[in-house]
Chain A
C-alpha cells in the first residue's frame, strides 16, 4: 500500500510535463514510422555511368538491361573513355560500367563483350551488393542468349527463400526498431530517477519516510515498467498497422520477453542512477551505454562479426537477446523451444543486474 503512494508520486512527476509526454509517446511513433521506411537495406538507384566502347548488338542490349533495372540509375552513357577517378572524386557516380569487344576467335558465335565494373569502394556493403547484381544481369543475358542459340543448360537453381519470401528488410528491421526505442526512452527516464532526488535533496525526505529501501526501489522502477510496456504495445501496434508485419509466433512470449528485458534495462538504469552524482553524469553515462547496446545488438550488423575480444560485450547485452527473440517470433514464427536459451540467458542477466543495482542502492541508502 505504501508503495502505491510512491508509485503515484512518480507517475505524477513523469506525467506533469507535457513535453515529456510528447517525447515518450508521440516521438517514438514518429521515429518508428520514419525509421521503418529508412531502414530498407535494399540497395537501389545507384548512380552509374556507362561507357560503351563496343558496337555489338549484345553490348547495346546489355546496356538496355542495366537501364531498366531498378538497381542502377544511369546518369550518362558515353562512347569514349574518360578520367574515371575524377568522376569518383566528384561523387556524381558510384560506379562506372565499361563494355568492350572481346576477342575470342574460337567461338565467333558465342562472343560476348568484355565487361568491367569500376566502383567507388568506400561503401563496402553497397559496392559488394551492386557488383553481385550487375554480375547477375550480364550472366542472365548471356544465359538466355545461349539458350536461344540452342545450347541447353545442364543446371538450374530453384531457390526458395524462407521466413521473408519477398526479402523486405522492414520485416527484419521494424520490430527491432521498437526494441531500440524502448531501450532509449526507458533508460533515459529511469537513469535520472534517483540522481534527481539526490540533486534536489528530496532523497532525504524519501529516506526518512517509513518506506523501506526495497519499497523505494520498487516504487521507482514500477511506473517506468508500466510506461515501458505501454510504449512497447504502441510500438508493436504501429509496426503491425503501418507496415503490415504479421506476427507469426506467440504474442504472449513476445510480451514476456519484453517484460524481462525491460526489467534488465530498468535495473541497469537505476544502477547508473545510484552511482552518479548529477543528472548530467547519469545522462551522459546512459547515453554512452545506449549507443553500445544499440550498435552491438545485431540489429544493424551481424553479431558474429564482432571480434572475440569484444564479444563478451555483446554477450552481456540484453538487447541482443531481445532482438533475436523478436525475430524468432515475428519472422520465423518459431515456438519457445527455439529461443528458450536466449530467454534464460536474458533472465540470468536481468537477475544479476537487478541484484547488483539493489545492493548498491541499499548501500547508498544506509550511508
Chain B
C-alpha cells in the first residue's frame, strides 16, 4: 500500500506540472456538451414542400391547405416553372439542389374524378438521400392524406390511434442526446487521461527507472491509475451538473446511485486507457488507438445515436463489449425513468468486470515488457 502511494504521488506531480493540459481537459468537455447538446437534434419541423396544383379547384386547395396548416410542413405553391420549364421540371431541379425535401403534384382531373367517385392519384416525389428523413416524410404524408380522405367520406374517426410517450412526453431529442453525450465524453476523457501515462514514460525512457524499482508491476499500474480517478470524477460531476442546469434534464432517480455508477464507469475508462498505454510504444500510437477504441464505438455501437435493437446480431454482439452501452442504459434509466438500483445490478457488475480485466491485462503486459526491458 505504501509503495502504491509513492507511485500515486509521483503521478500527481506529473499531472500538476502541466496545467495547460489539465485546463484543456476540464474546459473542453464543458464546451463540447454545450455546443453539441444544443446542436444535435433529429427533430424535423419544417419539411420544405412544393405543391404543383394543376387542378386549381376547391378540393385541391383544401388539400394544399391541409398541408400548409400542419406544423411539420412549410409549403410553397408553384404555378409556373422557371423560364421554359414545366413546374414539375423546376421542382425536380429544386429537389436535386436540396432546396426542398419533396414535391407534390395534384393532377388536372383531381376534383372531377373524386366527385365522380373514382380514385385520383397524387404524385409525390421525395428526396431519399437521407433515408431516415425520407421515411418520416412518407409516413407524415400518408397520415395527412388519409385524414383528408376520411373527412371527405365522412368516416372521420374510423382510425382511432392514440400515442403516448412515457418519460419524455414532448418527444424532445435533448432527453436522449444529452445522457448519451455524457456517457461518450466521460469514457473518452477518462481513457485519454491514462492513455498517455505509461507511453510517455516509454518515450522519455524514464520507464526504465520504474522497471528497476522494487515495485511490483500491478502496483505500478494501480498507482498510475488511481490519481486520475479524482480528476475524472470531478470532471464527470461537472458534466452532469452542466447537463442538468443547461438542458433542464430531469433527474428522476437517486443522485448517489448515479454518482456511484459514474465512478465505476470512470474506472473502466481509466483502466482501458492504461491498458492501451502499456501496449502502445509511443504517445501518438496510444492516443490514436484510444480514440479509435472509444470515440466511434461509443457513438455508434452504444445506442447513443442508433438504436441497438435494430443492429444485426453480429454487431449487436460487438455492442456488448463497448462499456458505454451499459452506462448508457444506466444513465438513461436513472435520470429519465427514475428506475432503481435493482434494475441495473448486472450493468454495474459487468463494468466492474471490465475494469478488473483491463487492469490485469495491463499488469501482465507491463511485467512482460519489464522482463524484456531488463
Contacts and interface: CB of A to CB of B under 8 A. Distances in A.
B2 interface: no
Interface stretch (B147-155, B214-222, B240-248, B363-371): B147-155
Interface stretch (B4-12, B137-145, B257-265, B266-274): B137-145
Nearest to A287: B291
Chain B contact residues, majority secondary structure: helix
Interface in A303-325: 305-307, 309-310, 313-314
B343 A90 contact: yes
Of A107, A123, A134, A160, most B-chain CB atoms within 10 Å: A123
A99 to B, nearest CB: 10
B306 A129 contact: no
A162 B166 contact: no
B143 A41 contact: no
Contacts of A156: 119-122
A153 B304 CA distance: 42
A347 interface: no
A117 to B, nearest CB: 5
B192 A284 contact: yes
Interface string B32-60: 10011011111110000000000000000
A244 interface: no
Given A34-B318, A281-B21, A306-B39, A88 B281 contact: no
A66 B148 CA distance: 25
B118 A152 contact: yes
Contacts of B139: 129, 132-133, 135-136
Given A40-B306, A110-B155, A132 B140 contact: yes
B117 interface: yes
Contacts of B70: none
Contacts of A184: 288, 291-292, 295
A365 interface: no
B24 interface: yes
A313 B36 CA distance: 11
Interface residues of B, number: 113
Interface string A275-319: 001111101110110111001100011100111011001100000
B329 to A, nearest CB: 7
A182 to B, nearest CB: 13
Contacts of A46: 307, 309-310
A235 B338 CA distance: 44
B38 A280 contact: no
Interface residues of A, number: 115
A245 to B, nearest CB: 12
B71 interface: no
B289 interface: yes
Contacts of B20: 277, 281
Interface string B299-319: 111010111011110110010
Nearest to B104: A157
A119 B165 contact: yes
A122 B175 contact: yes
Contacts of B138: 159, 161
Interface stretch (A168-176, A202-210, A250-258, A353-361): A168-176
Contacts of B128: 161-165, 167
Interface of A: 17, 19-20, 23, 27, 31, 34-35, 37-47, 73, 84-85, 88-91, 94, 102, 104, 107, 110, 112, 114-129, 131-136, 138-139, 142-143, 146, 151-165, 167-169, 171-172, 184-185, 188-189, 192, 196, 277-281, 283-285, 287-288, 290-292, 295-296, 300-302, 305-307, 309-310, 313-314, 327, 331-332, 334, 338
12 contacts: A40-B310, A120-B165, A154-B118, A155-B119, A157-B142, A159-B138, A162-B95, A172-B131, A281-B18, A291-B295, A302-B133, A313-B35
Interface of B: 18, 20-21, 24-25, 28, 31-32, 35-36, 38-44, 95-97, 113-114, 117-136, 138-143, 145-146, 148-149, 152-153, 155, 157-169, 171-173, 175-176, 188, 192, 196, 200, 280-285, 287-289, 291-292, 295-296, 299-301, 303, 305-307, 309-312, 314-315, 318, 329, 332-333, 336-340, 343
| The 8 nearest A-B residue pairs measured at CB | A121-B165, A121-B168, A132-B139, A161-B128, A164-B128, A167-B131, A305-B41, A306-B39
